[in-house]
Amino acid sequence: MAMDKEIIRVMGTDLDGNASAAIALTAVHGVSYNLSRAVLHIGGYDHRKKLKEFSESDFEKLEKIIKNPVDSGIPSWMINRQKDYKTGNDLHITGSDITMQLRDDVNRLRKIRSYRGIRHERGLPTRGQKTKSSFRHGATVGVSRNKDAKKGK
């Protein structure tokens, strides 16, 4: 939350102070453009205002809203983790917690040997895409010709 001239630190992320608030907040991992607009609206700020024009107390208020968006009045369909597997609560995860949570979810699917978990293990698509021509890895497969056939013999 320390403020420099051009770089502002919010939620462990350096943000551009010259950018508009709605655009700058999207640099925080887990905050989309729509969520940033909603956070600014709930906080009572103009989304076109430059981020460097905000005060320390404004940033504290924005962080509080981002950490608990449902409690602040943002609808639950806007958050990134609805009905958490362990708690059943609607959560919004930001920063490095997103990657850790995703890794835990995939490991849980692998451990219970679900179809999606097995597809993740094998590096194949998990959402029903066709695999005849896509999702191919490794060396290219094609027709290999003999040296004599290339010369025309």
pLDDT of residue 2: 47
Q: From the centroid of its chain, how far is CA 108?
A: 20
Q: Contact 39/25 with Cβ under 8 angstroms?
A: yes
49-64 core/surface letters (b: 16 or more CB in 10 A; e: else)? eebbebeeebbebbbe
pLDDT computed for residue 89 by the predictor: 85
Q: What is the CATH number of domain 7-78?
A: 1.10.8.50
Low-confidence spans in the chain with pLDDT less than 50: 1-4
Q: Are 80 and 92 a contacting pair, CB within 8 Å?
A: yes
HSE value, Cβ hemisphere, 13 Å, CA-based, for 12: 9
Predicted TM-score of the model (pTM): 0.72
Domain boundaries, the chain: 7-78
Using CA atoms, how far apart are residues 81 and 44, in angstroms rounded to an integer? 25
pLDDT recorded at residue 110: 95
* Alpha-carbon separation of residue 104 from 33, 98, 99, 120, 151 (angstroms): 26, 10, 9, 13, 57
pLDDT 10s digits, 22-44: 999 999 998 999 999 999 999 89
pLDDT at site 4: 47
